[in-house]
Chain A
């Protein structure tokens, strides 16, 4: 399709409009009289419709058009917003979203939207919203259909024209013309009738179709839908002037429209698609007219859209530059040439600024992720029969694009979890003297080089004893260990894998299934998650994430002749330790580090570095942490701090123990980046 170059823009913008529809509908639900919101929704729907029609996504355009009509009716106070109407509108938005996704994945966005369209139509006509289109209504309405109108299936454009015509002082007539039994050339008569009709008005639709009429593919009667300024009587007289016409019946169409709609909505499934399509094609010109009337509203702002691939390309090139910068620094340090050193320093500073700018370009407000939660919470609280007030703070907080892409699912999980297991039912809450409406707070903020995302609820909290019991019975911990654990450590247990793979976790008052997945995802992003909870008062899940993933500051260390990089984010400090200060506990080497017992890990042994054992009096130790826990890595030498570009080890090696990736140093060699988390259980 030649529209391909616009497709991406179309998809992006459609998603934005759908998001805006979602947001505004939520506001509308709470403030049904808010005209600004309705206007906003209307505009979004209108733009979406225009875009979809231009791109040739008919179903998408049809559905939006119907939504637009409903909103228009609301705007003009013909229809009052109620919760069921909002539900239907949400369904429509969901459907639209599905279609856009289909298009994004290379589909044509086609979907069976009939039912929804009919429901929307019913709303527009101010009828009661029927929960689901009842199949049993079929029979009764079908007869009504036959009597009522020959134009049960009008498409949106035809309806739009009809609507407009009545606004402009025209009237819509349904004209039934019966030819004389002895009529010889039916097609000729039809032609003459149409001649007459076109002089006095505009034929919107005919039944049978024009084509069928021309082929004399009808009995004696045919119907046309006419928009005219003339009176019904005049129309009748003019048609009767054509010879061999037996009878002409004119009725005002609006009177039958409502019935037709009703019939229509009920017989949705029955509808003859073929016919609808045919009439559609015969009316293509009309559609184009309508299309032309649509104006695309231009939004002016001072940003440009950049394809993320281009940004990634820029980032990759910059990574190369960072590597060369490292190399230059090394050379200039070796040469000790003053002018060279000065130049390299300048270059380092400038490329540092450049790095910040590029990283900032990749920053996206977390809003993108948070946006979908109000809808989700609304739906979930309905499903669960709970009342929940969701508050979002700090949606403008920015995060690296790569993190944004990954963080959505874990958050969905945690929110579901908080609603499902955290917040109690209204009845229970009342009993416990709480407000019936549960509070869920979603908060994001920057702190240092990290982003924090917190999910807190004022629900039941976590029952320490139950968690311990479950953990012991699942052999995640022993009974003995359990008695030593702090509350925080106990809560961490619910995210251990042994815990959540067990079935029926949800009978523990605390939290649910699959939290280990959440934890793993967050840790794979270089983040941590901690839980605080007070029984009966609620819980707080706090996620700490690095601002970016691709360039990280590390401490380079040497083990024998191998260089390793330890991410600074997990280092507390470095220390030189006298061998005599090393203690033994449970056959493990530990040290007393500022009053805490810290286990030591000998990298030489763990990484099986080939070397002869040398006895040393002093050890160089990197103190690392994971959450509250600490450990000391014994290395041979600290080389220094450096910013490195994180690279993958490649598919073939897959997961390598304690190695999270690699980087290329200034001298062109590869250094492995240590995943310190795997040393601490």
Chain B
């Protein structure tokens, strides 16, 4: 993928004081928090759906997806709209910064223990000017197996 190019353009987001990178080419938009319509009986990290300029878009709370403690939304909370294959999804993150060029040579494979986030969701890490940036494996984040498992049980009535 993009790692082969010398610079890895990413949107830097913040979750629980840590910085994560999402490749800029899958990001469709960055939105402020707006009314989210809850969709019953879906996984708890699925916050619901929003009207994104006429397209009904599901919203995932990344904190919950990664098993972090959930916090109230603030002024800086953002929704990152991501287009991955057939999926159109929005991620709720604590904050979103600008685009950052991550030089390829600063990228290293993810160490076994990274702390807050399950190592499965991290593809690699990058050190840029003393900042440690965790690069998300979006396919894993959106993977359906884990989503299905998290889905609540079927209706029995």
Contacts and interface: CB of A to CB of B under 8 A. Distances in A.
Interface residues of B, number: 27
Contact of A649 (B38, B49, B144, B147): B49
A659 B40 contact: yes
Interface in B77-94: 86-89
A659 B39 contact: yes
Nearest to A661: B56
A562 B37 contact: yes
B87 A652 contact: yes
A423 interface: no
Interface stretch (A135-143, A283-291, A505-513, A606-614): A606-614
B140 interface: no
A651 B50 CA distance: 14
A649 B157 contact: no
A619 interface: no
B87 A608 contact: no
B111 to A, nearest CB: 30
A608 B38 CA distance: 10
Interface of B: 35, 37-42, 46, 48-51, 54-58, 86-89, 142, 144, 147, 154-155, 157
A672 interface: yes
B87 A662 contact: no
Given A668-B51, A669-B51, A662 B155 contact: no
Contacts of B56: 647-650, 662, 664, 670
Contacts of A652: 58, 87-89, 142, 147
13 contacts: A320-B54, A601-B157, A608-B41, A648-B56, A649-B49, A651-B86, A652-B89, A652-B147, A659-B40, A664-B56, A669-B35, A670-B51, A670-B56
Interface string A641-681: 00000011111111011110010100011111000001100
B37 A657 contact: no
Contact of B87 (A609, A651, A659, A671): A651
A601 B58 CA distance: 26
Nearest to B39: A656
Can you list the 8 inter-chain pairs with the closest CB atoms, starting with the nearest? A607-B40, A670-B37, A651-B86, A662-B56, A652-B87, A657-B41, A647-B56, A664-B51
Nearest to A662: B56
Given A664-B51, A670-B56, A650 B88 contact: yes
Given A606-B155, A650-B49, A651-B87, A672 B39 contact: yes
Interface in A281-332: 319-320, 323
Contacts of B87: 650-652
Given A649-B56, A662-B49, A670-B56, A609 B40 contact: yes
B58 A649 contact: yes
B157 A679 contact: yes
A670 B54 CA distance: 9
Interface residues of A, number: 30
Contact of A657 (B57, B147, B154): B154
A431 B41 CA distance: 57
B137 to A, nearest CB: 16
Contacts of A647: 55-56
B42 A656 contact: yes
A315 to B, nearest CB: 13
B46 A662 contact: no
Contacts of B41: 607-608, 656-658
B155 A658 contact: yes
B41 to A, nearest CB: 5
Contacts of A659: 39-40
B64 to A, nearest CB: 15
A681 B77 CA distance: 43
Given A650-B49, A672-B39, 17 more contacts: A601-B157, A606-B155, A608-B40, A647-B56, A652-B142, A653-B39, A653-B49, A657-B40, A657-B154, A657-B155, A659-B39, A664-B56, A669-B37, A670-B48, A670-B50, A670-B51, A670-B56
Interface string A194-206: 0000000000000
A607 B157 CA distance: 13
A498 to B, nearest CB: 16
Contacts of B40: 606-609, 656-659, 672
A632 B155 CA distance: 17
B54 A664 contact: yes
A319 B53 CA distance: 12
Nearest to B144: A654
B120 to A, nearest CB: 19
A106 to B, nearest CB: 22
A674 B39 CA distance: 11
A139 B157 CA distance: 73
Contacts of B46: 653
A257 B32 CA distance: 82
A654 B89 CA distance: 12
Contact of B57 (A319, A650, A656, A678): A650
A654 B151 CA distance: 11
Contact of A653 (B42, B154, B155, B157): B42
A642 to B, nearest CB: 16
Contacts of A319: 54
Contacts of B57: 650
A323 B95 CA distance: 32
B49 to A, nearest CB: 5
Contact of B37 (A654, A662, A679): A662
Contacts of B38: 562
- From A650, A659, A679, residue with most partner B Cβ within 10 Å: A650
Contacts of B157: 601, 606, 679
